[in-house]
Amino acid sequence: MQTASRILMGVLAIALVCAGPAFAKKDKKGKKDWGPQIPPTITADQAKATVSAAIPRLSVGQPFTKRGKHGDIKLEVPLMFEGKIVAKVRLNPANGEVLLKGQKAWAQNLSVTPEQGARTVERMVSEFQVGAAWLGKQGEWKVPLLYKGAVIAEIKVHGQSGSILPDWKASRDASIP
């Protein structure tokens, strides 16, 4: 009788473990899914309005270059808001033209100076517009910055407080010499 009750207890324990929430399981790309996101309290329209109001206060930070995996060079110009990097604009290192979000340019040499790139972005800032916001993985709103109708960067807005979030990856890249 004791053996049967031990087996039953073991089966119940396994069933409870298997029936629990699947936090931190990995998706198809091997990234961890940390469970459900916190639903935002602000709307997409409010996030867009926050970014629209911030555009006149955006400034251009110190441009920087970095090397890609295959020896190519990348030229990036950070956008600053209240002293923090909130987005970055990527430029073609061969000719200084603005790259669309997701567009790649391959060059081994920098044909324009970072200062020329910064001046290019400074001239563009007044013409920025915002696109339709979408919800990010951590419950933040991602609002695209448009230049002449094309997405060139995105700014994140906190889903609870409605504040503009810093771009930590761009900040890290800018601080690496």
Q: What is the pLDDT of residues 65-124, one digit of tens each?
A: 988 888 889 999 999 999 999 999 999 999 999 999 999 888 888 889 999 999 999 999
Query: Who wins on pLDDT, 83 or 174?
Result: 83
Split into its structural domains, the chain has a count of 1
Domain span at residue 109 reads: 44-175
pTM for the whole structure: 0.77
Q: In the structure, what pLDDT confidence band is assigned to residue 24 with cuts at 50, 70 and 90?
A: very low
Let me know if residue 36 belongs to a domain.
no
Tokens linked to 176: 């690496």
What is the structure's pLDDT at 22?
42
Burial 19-36 (b: 16+ CB within 10 A, else e): eeeeeeeeeeeeeeeeee
Let me know if residue 103 belongs to a domain.
yes
Let me know if residue 99 belongs to a domain.
yes
